Amino acid sequence: MDARLSRPSKPVAGARLLAPCRSQCAICRHWARQAICADCLQRYAQPAIRCWTCATRLPPGLASTPQLRCGRCLQQAPPLDRCIAALDYGFPWDDLLQRFKFHQGLELGACLVDRLDEALSCAQAARPDWLLPVPLTPQRLCERGYNQSFELARRLARRQRLKCEPDLLLRVRHTEQQARLSLQERAANVRRAFAIEPQRAKDLHGQHIALLDDVMTSGATLFELARVLRQAGASHVQAWILARTPEPDQP
Ligand SMILES: [Zn+2]
Ligand SMILES: [Zn+2]
């Protein structure tokens, strides 16, 4: 018998590496088996009833019925078939997402993807053909070193066995950071900012696409990408987002 394949009869040096890994919870700093402890998840990651097409949180107490929409989406339907968000962009997720996005906090990735995975299963999201991250300009990708949306998308795509590529959608125009602009300015800022890689546009024809972004505020970026995809012949476009900024009048 090959000794390399046999099970050792007593602990060997290095075996402790197999023990469950514990680290400090990123929120409360207590020791935990995951990046965020079970108590903090129970406290800060409760599911909410959200609008079908923009994922804004709807008042508690509403029965969760399919295709429930907020007033704004009823007045003007966004170009999305569905929008699903895992969390509200507020304490403690705002700090954690800033860390994930700007400060190399990639160790939070698996735990963040767990939240989105749970929200998608709760919302009974339709299965897309492609999961495509919102792209960065080459300049911003170079500055940051990674695209936070692709980091989430590739993990989720692996779990759900979806096609996922970072280069199918292109950000062809450098835009002001949306966070610095008023809600009205954001739609103008991202107009004509995106394109589909010309060599691959035919691959998306007739396909069901889920876009993935870390945070959605006005929705301008995702709506613009959805328009570009529909023009290219995509049959369905969803947006899957980790955190949705609450409306100004929401607590
Ligand atoms: Zn905790
Ligand atoms: Zn809505």
Task: List beta partners, residue 241.
Answer: 85, 213
Average pLDDT value over all residues in the chain:
88
Share of the chain above pLDDT 90, in %: 70
* Spatial distance between the Cα atoms of 186 and 3, rounded to a whole number of angstroms: 63
Residue 67: predicted pLDDT? 87
Q: How far is the CA of 122 from the centre of ligand 2 (A)?
A: 18
Peptide bond into 198 cis (omega under 30): no
Counting ligands in written order, the one closest to the CA of 31 is 1
Q: How far is the CA of 41 from the centre of ligand 1 (A)?
A: 7
pLDDT at 123 over 70: yes
Which runs of consecutive H residues, i.e. helices, occur in 136-248?
138-144, 148-160, 183-190, 220-231
Q: How far is the CA of 161 from the centre of ligand 2 (A)?
A: 29
The model's pTM is 0.87
Structure tokens at 128: 């897309």
Host H or E run for residue 117 = helix 109-122
* Spatial distance between the Cα atoms of 100 and 182, rounded to a whole number of angstroms: 24
Counting ligands in written order, the one closest to the CA of 111 is 1
* Model confidence pLDDT, tens digit, residues 196-216: 999 999 999 999 999 999 999
Task: List beta partners, residue 163.
Answer: 130
Q: How far is the CA of 68 from the centre of ligand 2 (A)?
A: 8
CB 53 within 8 A of CB 83: yes
Average pLDDT rounded to a whole number, residues 90-96: 96
Q: How far is the CA of 73 from the centre of ligand 2 (A)?
A: 4
Three-state DSSP at 236 gives: strand
Backbone angles phi, psi at 26, to 5 degrees: -70, -15
* Model confidence pLDDT, tens digit, residues 162-204: 999 999 999 998 877 777 788 778 888 888 889 999 999 999 9
Residue 13: predicted pLDDT? 45
Give the residue carrying structure tokens 């990639």: 106
Residue 15: predicted pLDDT? 42
Counting ligands in written order, the one closest to the CA of 33 is 1
